[in-house]
Amino acid sequence: MIIPAYNEADYLPRYLPTVFASLRAWEAASGRRGEVIVVDNASTDDTASIAKELGARVVTELVRSIGLVRNTGARAAQGRMLFFADADVALPLEAISAAVAAMEGGAVGGAIPPLYTPARLGARLLCAYWDHHRSRHGGAQGVTQFCTVDAFKAVHGYRPDYFMGEDMEFFARLTAHGRTDGPVAVLEELRVRPSTRRYDTWSTARMLWWQNPLIVRLGLTSPRLWRNWYTTTVR
């Protein structure tokens, strides 16, 4: 399990226990062991120490690039399977067991879709649009993605030069790879529950600006465009 984290000291105690609960459920059923790696991305709070206190192994990536952070965690991992999740995501108990079962059944990787429940109607509609877009186009957001180490290496991991949309781009390449080596598995019967901190704090207009396909596609490799997204994340 690989979790990128920047200034997540307030959220790790709420969400990391769900990760460990899912991991322990798989370990108890399989008799095998897994690990949780938190990749501290130059945090200025107690993210690293809190992650250690909660039982995670902490590695550090100083460059602020989400794709690079994910790749750093993958290099540190010791297992044959990789599971990526955001730091503010609650996993269902069955999550890791289901992902492992999919990969042991021949899938090169996959994802568990998110269920966002923001307070405002406009934000709920925006989330519904992106979920519809995902299901229509076969994509998967990076809130939870998984793959075998062999598949990760075959597609060369996440693009470190992408400051947004690295998850969708990675999943597109993983899906293409899977056409010859095995399918991808989107576990529609499960849902992870991310926090709605941005949706509940930012206006719907602001979210529409930052999450519309035109802006995302035009500025994927622009650190200047995404600097506010990286430095002023709603906490």
pLDDT tens digits, one per residue of 192-217: 999 988 878 878 787 777 776 666 66
pLDDT tens digits, one per residue of 14-46: 999 999 999 999 999 999 999 999 999 999 999
In terms of CATH architecture, what is 2-231? Answer: Alpha-Beta Complex (3.90)
> Is the pTM here over 0.75, yes or no?
yes
CA proximity to 170, closest of 36, 73, 71: 71
Boundaries of every domain in the chain: 2-231
